[in-house]
Amino acid sequence: MNNNYYEKLGELVIASRLRRLSERFVLDIGNIYKSRNIDFEPGWFHIMFLLSENKKNVDNTNIRNT
């Protein structure tokens, strides 16, 4: 494909590539957890971090809004 094609797509090309990189990164992290026999999904990280930092003031609304 020529450069003109990519120029027309602009940010969509970057956004699409970043999404694919992110998906690959999460998959690789999941494989690291599995290789170490850790039962943990990478998508849970932000919830676990929120719970560890805010032990008293976390409810479903706080978790949902993160």
Among 45, 48, 39, 42, CA closest to 58: 48
Q: What is the pLDDT of residues 31-64, one digit of tens each?
A: 999 999 999 999 888 888 888 887 677 777 777 7
DSSP character for 57? S
User: What is the tally of structural domains in the chain?
Assistant: 1
Q: What is the pLDDT of residues 21-35, one digit of tens each?
A: 999 999 999 999 999
50 CB-near residues (< 8 Å, 6+ apart): 58, 62, 63, 66
Containing structural domain, residue 17: 3-64
pLDDT score, position 14? 86
CB atoms within 10 A of CB 12: 10
Q: What is the pTM of this model?
A: 0.61
User: Between residues 4 and 28, which one has the greater pLDDT?
Assistant: 28
CB of 62 closer than 8 Å to CB of 50: yes
